[in-house]
Amino acid sequence: MQVVIVESPAKAKTINKYLGPGYEVIASYGHVRDLPAKDGSVDPEHDFHMLWDVDPKSQKRLSDIAKAVRGADGLILATDPDREGEAISWHVLEVLKEKRALKDQPVSRVVFNAITKQAVLEAMKNPRMIDAALVDAYLARRALDYLVGFTLSPVLWRKLPGARSAGRVQSVALRLVCDREREIETFITREYWSIAARLATPRGDEFEARLVGADGKKITRLDVGTSEEAMAFRQALESSDYKVRSVEAKPARRHPYPPFTTSTLQQEASRKLGFAPAITMRIAQRLYEGVDIGGETVGLITYMRTDGVDMAPEAIASARSVIGRDYGDRYVPSVPRKYTAKAKNAQEAHEAVRPTDLGRRPKDVLRLLEGDQAKLYELIWLRTIASQMESAELERTTVDIDAVAAGRALELRATGQVVKFDGFLTLYREGRDDEEEDEENRRLPALTAGEGLLNKGIKTDQHFTEPPPRYSEASLVKRMEELGIGRPSTYASVLAVLRDREYVRLEKRRLMPEDKGRLVTAFLESFFERYVEYDFTADLEEKLDKISAGELEWKDVLRDFWLNFAAAVGETKDLRVSEVLSALDEMLTAHIFPPKEDGTDPRLCPNCGNGRLSLKVGKFGAFIGCSNYPECKYTRPLAVQSGENGEAVDTGPRVIGTDPDSGLEVTVRDGRFGAYLQLGEAKDGEKPKRSSLPKGLAPADVDLETALGLLSLPREIGTHPDSGDPILAGIGRFGPYVQHGKTYANLDAEDDVLSIGINRAVALIADKQNKGPGRGRGAQGGRELGAHPTLGGPITVRPGRFGAYVNHGKVNATLPKSMVPEEVTLEQAVELITAKAGSTPAKPARRSASADGATKAKKPAAKKTTASKSAATKSTAKKPAAKKPAAKKAAAKAD
């Protein structure tokens, strides 16, 4: 009996059917080990010794694999055909060696690019050993990511409260988004005019020609910059005689696009289907693993993590056969097409993403697939077939025209394009804008040199240059690939991390940096510039590729990196927060203090009139405050809001009206925690009356009546029918509420704090009293997921005022926005809690010296497979440091 290890249970079931008796196929469920999320998992002082923890949810699976291997004739490692798959095979083999499950059984590695019977059986005929160079490249990449994340992130927590994390690729991707935003903010709009003549042939055929030259000089797009210049050209053209100087028609060919790679699939699925990269990869995974066709599970596409663009000879032959049958021999090129990747650092060991059977048309599998799966399969099928079709044949015509006026010689040009043979365009066009489509289909009438033309009107249009567009997820992926940053398989996860960390947000399918993302990028550019440089990151990726090719020793690359990186981190230890704020204030000036339209100083405090505004930092992150604090307590968010095109929007106090009782102005303002209302100004050190806005009420929609009602809160609704005590309605730190004695009940979204009646208030109070106190008994009422597999104690998922979270003991880990609380599993909760515990260095260390240590003594933690004595000694020596006051203070700041 041969034991075969694959990654997913779906794949295991399918491959078991293909191989039949004599084989037992077992799933590892992806990675089985990882670096523990704590300090010391990679030890540069001991030749980058790495500690690996077996994933708690993998313990039983590995035991089952070991049990099966002990009685087997051989072990076949058949995980995915990429670096991650190679690493998983290596991890499984290492664990089996430690469990002494292997004796004399032969061990081999097989890879297949598609889950079809033919591909799997062919792979079994060509076994090999685990590729040591690929494993080394994985180890180097994993160590680098760990060293950057676990070394740089604590620096961020100490020097920049509110920051979440930094990463080797993540931070560079964030810089791309922030740099683009900076370009938009500093962009200077420039006026220009376009001038065109509507002309007609003697036969009455009309077309348009644009002005391209005057008096022997070329006129480019931005050369006509004022209305006076435009009007002068218009007058000259209106009195000109027109004659065709030359007509040039050139044949042209447009070649098809290569089949999909991981990144081009993500880009086109985003443009054409509106799928985020993570969604595209999730759907592609399902298509790769297959669907049931005639009682047999069949993979519909080849492996979706690749940057190769070529296809197997049999796939090319199949595509050409389909093209001939469906579109005719005219659409089949005489020679099959071969493609090579143009992306930097491309690895072409695997095929492009393509259907496993090109004869399986989209309509044939429509009823077998879910809606999004069918859309993605059709996109992949169309692109693959089109890649082997004949080129489109075009004719591009350029007509130069002379316009002669009194004392002036003007030149105009008209261009057109005609598709003579559509070729691959009959099937597939890459996502483009409307302007490109119009240009492609523009036709010109028949014209001959020397022919006179009639003037049918002159058109002058004013334009303004626009800043570069913000990145979409597709264009950011494309840019990262062009620069050689990261790998195709990581793009989706990098974008997901940026959004989960709330460093960027997606608006109208465009990525916009959040203030905390801008701060992190500015900090890294100021103090770790080299490590967020595009060329440096791309060069490091190239070295990792050379490791995978066996050209570099992986630990040599780590030593070179760590020597300079550790020194750069050391230089920041003595930095004062004030120095950091000063550097960030200067770098982000265009963002936080954009010029005002009236020309006044944007740093002048609008409250006291003589204070200077600058960047401040508090326990909740950065904000803008006045230099006259505490006399002047003016604050606002980090940056003024910006419109759709990046223009600044005034966020200063807006006067709504005057309170008829006090005669004081009522204003709506922006603060660190959002918009709020204020009555009058601070006087004699007393704070003015303020009220936050209820959720869903936009500052622009607040009128005087609503504002006065909110400022009058809390208001008495009536008396409770049982106690006779008053029931009040107000807005607190957790939103609108009703209060009866010591019972506070939050209002639902449909309740209005200004109009809620006594009956509804009594019902909310009664409901809250039945549930119990929110921070006491009620807080314990979350959904229990089970006991922690290594530390013991219950794990629960609970609602919180900042969103749902999972709890274990004193550790609370917020759920990512993409995770549904009702669907959270114990395994997912353990991962979140482990990551959270590892991200707060001081507190976990203090607990592990006492309570956690006692727990571990009773029940062993996840097994450390390569722990060294020196690393254990180092870890133990560090624990008492957590009790020092300085460490406690640092931990508080980090939180």
Contact between 259 and 339 (Cβ < 8 Å):
yes
The upper half-sphere exposure of residue 442, i.e. CA atoms within 13 Å in the direction of its Cβ, equals: 17
Contact between 85 and 79 (Cβ < 8 Å):
yes
Query: What is the token pair recorded at 443?
Result: 């036709």
Contact between 297 and 13 (Cβ < 8 Å):
yes
Contact between 520 and 171 (Cβ < 8 Å):
yes
User: What's the rounded Cα separation, in Å, for the pair 78 and 12?
Assistant: 10
Contact between 19 and 124 (Cβ < 8 Å):
yes
User: What's the rounded Cα separation, in Å, for the pair 205 and 581?
Assistant: 66
Q: Which residues contact 884 (CB under 8 A, 6 or more apart)?
A: none
Q: What is the DSSP letter of 670?
A: E
User: What's the rounded Cα separation, in Å, for the pair 543 and 41?
Assistant: 23
User: What's the rounded Cα separation, in Å, for the pair 475 and 510?
Assistant: 9
Active-site residue, 629 included: no
For residue 575, the tally of other CB atoms under 10 A from its CB is 15
Q: What angle is formed at CA 807 by the lines to CA 520 and CA 841, rounded to 5 degrees?
A: 45
Instruction: Assess whether the previous peptide bond of 630 is cis (omega < 30° from 0).
Output: yes
- The residues facing 241 across adjacent strands are 404
Q: Report the DSSP pairing between strands 648-649 and 635-636.
A: unpaired
Select from 308, 316, 440, 441 the least CA-distant residue to 389.
Answer: 316
Q: Report the DSSP pairing between strands 2-6 and 74-77.
A: parallel
User: What's the rounded Cα separation, in Å, for the pair 323 and 742?
Assistant: 76
Q: Which residues contact 131 (CB under 8 A, 6 or more apart)?
A: 86, 109
User: What's the rounded Cα separation, in Å, for the pair 404 and 408?
Assistant: 6
Residue type, 122: E
751-785 burial by CB neighbour count: b if 16+ within 10 A, else e?
Answer: bebbebeeebbbebbeebeeeeebeeeeeeebeeb
Report the first-to-last Cα separation within the chain, whole angstroms: 53
The upper half-sphere exposure of residue 678, i.e. CA atoms within 13 Å in the direction of its Cβ, equals: 21
Select from 867, 838, 865, 866 the least CA-distant residue to 852.
Answer: 838
| 779, 831, 882 from 783: Cα distances, Å | 11, 17, 33
| 352, 489, 551 from 347: Cα distances, Å | 11, 12, 15
Sign of the CA dihedral with 114 first, then 118, 123, and 126 last: negative
Catalytic residue among 138, 146, 192, 303: 303
Select from 382, 379, 378, 376 the least CA-distant residue to 286.
Answer: 376
What are 791-800's contacts with CB under 8 Å, separation 24+? 791/852, 791/855, 791/856, 791/859, 791/861, 792/855, 792/858, 792/859, 793/855, 795/826, 795/829, 795/830, 795/833, 797/821, 797/824, 797/829
User: What's the rounded Cα separation, in Å, for the pair 538 and 532?
Assistant: 10
Select from 460, 275, 521, 225 the least CA-distant residue to 380.
Answer: 275
Report the catalytic residues.
303
